[in-house]
């Protein structure tokens, strides 16, 4: 069984602070994918990044960066110089093959509510 | 156009009503999904359509009935719902159903069953 843990339920920061959202996962598969999605108050989930299990390179995209460490089964997300518009719920998710078939299942963590105050 | 459009945005229905949620995408995606999200919880997968055929039903009660009339449209027909079915219903699409495929989500329909 797969599991995604986002231990931080809520985080509150002041604008321009850096913030790291933690994600720890469990899987028995050697091939899997990890995702981060952002859910602003408007409701839609917005895709941020995908990382496969064989690529441990960190990635930076503007103020966003991701640190994937297979040794600790973690895929953490850092926002540098946070802005009010970053306020949202952030979900980490794990995709792996469903047992017995060719379909795949995306399992979400419980999400972290980030509030950036002006 | 990278939008998934869901209608209506809000819906209040009685337990004896029949209603439908609609979802539309014009990105040429061949996989479409329905998710249910309760407040302060992550989305839970309900159904997956691949090339207009139902490929995954996550043991959803029969009072929820999905339909995929064509590659751009996905409906969710609701009948005899319970108050505990009140939630945000999200539609999503992706270019395929592969493990590495990101999904594009609509803004959801906020359903209240009274």
- Helix, strand, or coil (residue A73): coil
**pLDDT above 80: residue A36:** yes
CA dihedral angle for residue B79, residue B84, residue B47, residue B34, rounded to 10 degrees: 90
Q: What is the DSSP string of B38-84?
A: -TTS--EEEEEEETTEEEEE-S--TTEEEEEEETTEEEEEEES--GG
Q: If you average pLDDT over every residue of chain B, what do you get? A: 94
Nearest to B90 among A35, A45, A109 (CB): A45
CA dihedral angle for residue A58, residue A62, residue A63, residue A68, rounded to 10 degrees: -10
- Helix, strand, or coil (residue A94): strand
Q: Alpha-carbon distance A80 to B97, whole Å?
A: 33
For residue B22, what pLDDT is reported?
98
For residue A97, what pLDDT is reported?
73
B109 touches chain A (CB under 8 A): no
Q: Do B103 and A33 touch (CB under 8 A)?
A: no
For residue A100, what pLDDT is reported?
55
pLDDT digits (tens, 9 = 90+) for B50-89: 999 998 898 999 999 999 999 999 999 999 999 999 999 9
pLDDT digits (tens, 9 = 90+) for A40-77: 998 999 999 999 999 888 888 999 999 999 999 999 99
Q: Do A45 and B92 touch (CB under 8 A)?
A: yes
Chain A to chain B, count of Cβ pairs less than 8 Å apart? 54
**Nearest chain A alpha carbon to B41:** A110
Chain B CB contacts of A111 under 8 Å are 40-42
Question: What is the nearest CA distance from B69 to chain A, expressed in angstroms?
Answer: 22
Tell which of A97, A102, A106 to mutate to test the B interface (max B CBs under 10 Å): A106
**Nearest chain A alpha carbon to B90:** A44
| Residues A95 and A33 sit within 8 Å (Cβ to Cβ) | yes
């Amino acid at each position: 069984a797969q599991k995604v843990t986002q231990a931080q339920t809520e985080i509150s920061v002041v604008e321009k602070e850096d913030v790291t959202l933690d994600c720890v996962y469990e899987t028995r598969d050697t091939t899997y994918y990890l995702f981060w999605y952002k859910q602003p108050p408007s409701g839609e989930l917005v895709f941020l990044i995908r990382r496969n299990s064989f690529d441990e390179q960190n990635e930076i995209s503007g103020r966003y960066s991701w640190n994937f460490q297979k040794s600790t089964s973690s895929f953490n997300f850092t926002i540098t110089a946070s802005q009010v518009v970053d306020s949202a719920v952030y979900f980490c998710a794990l995709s792996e093959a469903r047992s017995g078939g060719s379909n795949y299942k995306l399992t979400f963590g419980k999400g972290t509510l980030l509030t950036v105050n002006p | 156009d990278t939008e998934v459009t869901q209608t209506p945005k809000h819906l209040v229905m009685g337990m004896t009503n029949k209603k439908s949620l609609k979802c539309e995408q014009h990105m040429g995606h061949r996989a479409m999904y329905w998710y249910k999200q309760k407040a302060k919880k992550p989305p839970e997968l309900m159904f997956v359509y691949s090339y207009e055929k139902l490929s995954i039903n996550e043991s959803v009660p029969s009072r929820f009935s999905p339909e995929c009339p064509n590659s751009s449209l996905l409906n969710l027909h609701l009948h005899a719902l319970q108050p505990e079915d009140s939630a945000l219903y999200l539609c999503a699409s992706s270019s395929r159903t592969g493990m590495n495929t990101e999904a594009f989500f609509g803004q959801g329909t906020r359903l209240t069953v009274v």
